[in-house]
Structure 1
Amino acid sequence: MSTGQTILTIGAFILLSNILITFYRLLAESGETINSSQSVITAVSLATTNIQIAQGLHYDEKTINSFINGQSELNRLTPLGLLGRDSWYGVDSLGNDTLESTPELPPENQIKYFDDFDDFNGWEQRDTTLEGGIFKTTFLVYYVNPDNVSEPSLTQQTFVKRMDMKIWREFPPSRDTLRTSFIMGYWMFSAAL
């Protein structure tokens, strides 16, 4: 084999190597894109599930067994600093927190025991049952200004609460984080004509 043929053969191997490296890099990138897309789809599914659960709950602990009749009774709603899951001690028939232990009521340490919207406040959920990895969801619930739901109400209870959710894949780690919000209002229709 002459020098020219050797150089041509080496050049062909270099060209083939570059083509193969480019092909496998593109293959890896497309796999990563598919994996990332599946992660986002799963996060959206988790968000939708949690929103549907929240929609089925009462507005507030105090509205489970009674009605709040107008602005004058706003102070009956759960105070701003106490939004979240109820303690083991439970609630009496009027919706007031009791200091008596009520073992017949389960503690609100699982979503299936939540009974009102703000029980999601401070909740962290780690889902290890999905095939796509381990997902973590955090929740924040707070009162908002009814005229501007982007503005938290820092001084008083209102008839509107907002839930902020943050969902991401912990393992394998993902660069994407889904952030979404859901608004719940308290409505009561008077039977008076």
Structure 2
Amino acid sequence: MHPLSILLLGIAMSTDAFAAAVGKGAAMRDPRLTEALRAGLIFGAIEGLTPLVGWALGNAAAPYVTAWDHWIAFTLLGLLGLRMIHAGLRAPDASATPAARPGFWTLATTGLATSIDALAVGVGLAFVDVDIVVVAAVVACTTLVMVSCGILLGRVLGALAGRRAEIVGGALLVAIGVAILFQHLGAA
């Protein structure tokens, strides 16, 4: 596989994570570079591991992964998005302060939801002459950069949108899930 193709694959695999990160950054209270890098590392690690797992599954799991990947991503992103919308619509509790950053498990779940397609790509790469470790490393690095930038971009958008940012971020996650579902159902 040509190095440019690997880079483009890495960028393509990280676009969902970027969009989710913009939503997360918009919902966060003043995210800093360290928090953006933390989110980027979590998303990048997950996004880099999923093609390795998919590649390892290879032929045996291909029909199962490709048959359900869009439903898994749709469900996880939809539930996370609806949770964010619900939190944004609730009346603010004067005694509660919003979390400065999302917890590890929230980021990991979102990262997993946006990387289901990378798992399926990994399965497909099992049938191609490619160094899967290089591909996974490129996917992880591009995701780290794009998610970190997405969090910081979301910070700017969040400052402009105020409390509505969490609702917008949740709607964005739901929209990503719906888009993944329609893309796969339309291709079927």
Tell me if both proteins adopt one fold, taking TM over 0.5 as the criterion: no
Judging by fraction of residues, say which structure has more strand: 1
Query: TM-score, normalised to structure 1's length?
Result: 0.30
**Structure showing the higher helix proportion among its residues:** 2
The structure that has the greater radius of gyration is 1
The alignment's TM-score, normalised by the length of structure 2, stands at 0.31
